[in-house]
A and B are shown apart, each in its own frame.
Chain A
Amino acid sequence: AQTVTQSQPEMSVQEAETVTLSCTYDTSESDYYLFWYKQPPSRQMILVIRQEAYKQQNATENRFSVNFQKAAKSFSLKISDSQLGDAAMYFCAYKTSGSRLTFGEGTQLTVNP
């Protein structure tokens, strides 16, 4: 069974600083997708960034980037120049050829002014 592990239940960062959220996953598949979703207090899940496993280049979306280490099955999210609006619960998720996304337990990010 695929599992996604987020070992940091809570993280905090100062405004304008950089923070990295960790995620590891377990799979025997070679072709899959990885995601980071953000869940602000409104509770709506918002896609932050996506990575295809066959691509070696790390995905980047503005201030958000990932460090994808396929051999280590690691998929960390780096947030640069943190803003107050980045405060949210962040979920790492995995998808193979089937229909379901498997989510981690989440990391609550606090941004301190």
Chain B
Amino acid sequence: NAGVMQNPRHLVRRRGQEARLRCSPMKGHSHVYWYRQLPEEGLKFMVYLQKENIIDESGMPKERFSAEFPKEGPSILRIQQVVRGDSAAYFCASSPQERKNTGELFFGEGSRLTVL
């Protein structure tokens, strides 16, 4: 059973470009979470999605950031017009329906975004 798969593992963008980060949850998991980790800091919640629905986006910046989890395919975290402050590791996590309230998350290895 493959774990949570994130790609790309490393992404370099210039200021003003767009970054797209992809996450495939574990098989059978219908809940996806995105977290951001700035250098030397803990993980900060961004958004929680189920298939085709955004459940909680209270941690997501209001501008330039968007997330989706379509019926088919991976979840996508999209950052438009990136700035240097967006440089961070972005982690995706998933959980199955029966554990969605227990906080047990299965994390991917993260995507490290560097903005030049």
**A→B interface (CB under 8 Å):** 4, 33, 35, 37, 42-47, 50, 91, 93, 95, 97-106
Complexed CA–CA distance, A20 and B94 (Å): 29
Q: Which of A35, A42, A91, A106 contacts B103 (CB 8 A)?
A: A35
A101:B45 contact, CB within 8 angstroms:
yes
**B→A interface (CB under 8 Å):** 33, 35, 41-45, 48, 55-56, 58-59, 89, 91, 93, 100-110
**Total A-B contacts with CB atoms under 8 angstroms apart:** 59
A91:B55 contact, CB within 8 angstroms:
no
B45:A102 contact, CB within 8 angstroms:
yes
A33:B109 contact, CB within 8 angstroms:
no
A43:B43 contact, CB within 8 angstroms:
no
Please give, as numbers and ranges, the residues of chain B lying within 8 Å of A46 by CB-CB distance.
107
Q: Give the Cβ gap from B31 to chain A, nearest Cβ, in Å.
A: 8
A44:B109 contact, CB within 8 angstroms:
yes
